[in-house]
């Protein structure tokens, strides 16, 4: 049994399959349907990445708020929590933005 890559989601399928097992794209050669599926997938992916980057931004704002809450010097635990949140949020934000950028460039 040979394996073929789905043109839409790029996952592997049996060459005997009539449609992708992962995204249900038919392999019957309907180029238009395939292109439409691919576009829809891309739009969904970009919407999801945009949501991720906003969630990451919220996390960063949350970290800053936690650190400066009450305008007092934060306890070491609170500073550490805020710092960790900020670092994770920043990395998450950058990863989302880079993925969004790559996704938009390839479309």
With CB under 5 A as the contact rule, the residue among 5, 22, 39, 104 that binds Zn ion is 22
Alpha helices in the chain (DSSP H): 31-68, 76-105
Q: Which two tokens stand for residue 77?
A: 């635990």
What residues are paired with 3 via a beta bridge? 14
Residue 59 sits in the site that holds Zn ion (CB under 5 A): no
- Stretch of 14-22, 49-57, 65-73, 80-88 lying at the interface with Zn ion (CB under 5 A): 14-22
To Zn ion, the closest distance from the beta carbon of 32 in angstroms equals 16
Distance CA 57, CA 63 (A): 10
At residue 12, what are phi and psi to the nearest 5 degrees?
Answer: -85, 140
Binding positions for Zn ion, 27-56, rule CB under 5 A: none
Binding site for Zn ion (CB under 5 A): 6, 8-9, 20, 22-23, 25
């Amino acid at each position: 049994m040979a394996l073929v890559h789905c043109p839409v989601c790029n996952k592997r399928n049996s060459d005997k399959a009539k449609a992708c097992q992962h995204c249900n794209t038919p392999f019957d050669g309907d180029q238009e349907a395939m292109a439409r599926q691919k576009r829809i997938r891309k739009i969904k992916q970009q919407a999801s990445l945009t949501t991720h980057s906003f969630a990451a931004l919220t996390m960063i704002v949350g970290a800053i708020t936690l650190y400066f809450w009450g305008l007092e010097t934060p306890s070491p635990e609170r500073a550490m929590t805020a710092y960790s949140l900020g670092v994770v949020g920043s990395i998450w934000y950058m990863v989302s933005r880079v993925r969004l950028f790559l996704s938009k460039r390839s479309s």
